[in-house]
C-alpha cells in the first residue's frame, strides 16, 4: 500500500465537484481497479474515512470508505452505490469533507439507509447501515451527484462556513508564496 501513488484531492469550488458522475461501466474495469487502491491510499493519508471519485477528478460513481473500527483497516470499495431506502427517523452528526478541509458542521440526514453497490469483481452487495456508516455513505454518494455536505446546511451556516474556508485558503496560499 505504501507504494501506491497518491492522488491530488480537488477542493471547493472546483467545478468537477459539482458535476454528476456517470455510472461505472464494464469498459471501466481496468481504470476502476487501478483507481480504487489509489483512492484508499489518498484517503488514509489525508486522513479521512471516505472519498468519492469526483474528489480526485474522476467523474465516476465510485466511492471508498474505511471507518477503521478499533484502528483496524477495513476498506470498502463501492462501485455504482445507490441508496435504495432511507429511514424516516433522522440523525444529526458532525461532518467534514476532504474537499473543504478544516471545516465541520452538524448535518441532519436519515438515521439509517439501505445501500446497494457492486464490488470491484462485480459482486452485488446490499447492506443496511446506521450511525457513522449511514452518514458516511450518504455523504459520499452525495458527491457522485455533485452535492457537498454544505448544501445540506441552512443558507446562513453554509455561507459562513464557505466564507471561512475560502479565507483560510487565501491565507494559506499567501503563506506558501
Residues that are catalytic? 140
What phi, psi does 161 have (nearest 5°)?
-65, -45
Q: Is 143 annotated as a binding residue?
A: yes
Cβ proximity to Ni ion, 24 vs 43, nearer residue: 43
Q: Residue 148 Cβ, how far from Ni ion at the closest point, in Å?
A: 7
Q: Residue 167 Cβ, how far from Ni ion at the closest point, in Å?
A: 20
Q: Residue 30 Cβ, how far from Ni ion at the closest point, in Å?
A: 26
Q: For binding to Ni ion (CB under 5 A), which residues are involved?
A: 97
Q: Residue 96 Cβ, how far from Ni ion at the closest point, in Å?
A: 8
Cα Rg for the chain, rounded, in angstroms?
A: 16
For 12, what's the count of Cα atoms within 13 Å in the CB-facing half-sphere? 25
Please give the Cα distance from 53 to 168 (Å, whole number).
25
Q: Is 136 annotated as a binding residue?
A: no
Q: Look up residue 116 and give its DSSP letter.
A: E
Contact 9, 56 (CB under 8 A): yes
| Helix (H), strand (E) at residue 94 | strand 90-95
Please give the Cα distance from 174 to 176 (Å, whole number).
5
Question: Both ends of the chain: CA-CA distance in Å?
Answer: 33
Cβ proximity to Ni ion, 29 vs 83, nearer residue: 83
Cβ proximity to Ni ion, 41 vs 43, nearer residue: 43
DSSP H helical segments within the chain, as ranges?
A: 29-45, 131-144, 155-176
Cβ proximity to Ni ion, 25 vs 82, nearer residue: 82
- Give the annotated binding-site residues for Fe cation: 97, 139, 143
- Give the annotated binding-site residues: 97, 139, 143
Amino acid at each position: 500500500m505504501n507504494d501506491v501513488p497518491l492522488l491530488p484531492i480537488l477542493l471547493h469550488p472546483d467545478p468537477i465537484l459539482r458535476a454528476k458522475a456517470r455510472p461505472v461501466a464494464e469498459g471501466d474495469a481496468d481504470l476502476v481497479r487501478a483507481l480504487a487502491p489509489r483512492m484508499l491510499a489518498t484517503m488514509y493519508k489525508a486522513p479521512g474515512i471516505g472519498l468519492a471519485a469526483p474528489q480526485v477528478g474522476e467523474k465516476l460513481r465510485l466511492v471508498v470508505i474505511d471507518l477503521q473500527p478499533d484502528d483496524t483497516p477495513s476498506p470498502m470499495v463501492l462501485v455504482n452505490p445507490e441508496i435504495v431506502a432511507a429511514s424516516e427517523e433522522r440523525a444529526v452528526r458532525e461532518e467534514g469533507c476532504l474537499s473543504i478541509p478544516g471545516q465541520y458542521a452538524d448535518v441532519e440526514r436519515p438515521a439509517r439507509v439501505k445501500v446497494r453497490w457492486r464490488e470491484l469483481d462485480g459482486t452485488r452487495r446490499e447492506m443496511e447501515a446506521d450511525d457513522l456508516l449511514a452518514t458516511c455513505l450518504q455523504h459520499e454518494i452525495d458527491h457522485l451527484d455533485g452535492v457537498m455536505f454544505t448544501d445540506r446546511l441552512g443558507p446562513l451556516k453554509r455561507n459562513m462556513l464557505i466564507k471561512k474556508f475560502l479565507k483560510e485558503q487565501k491565507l494559506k496560499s499567501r503563506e506558501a508564496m
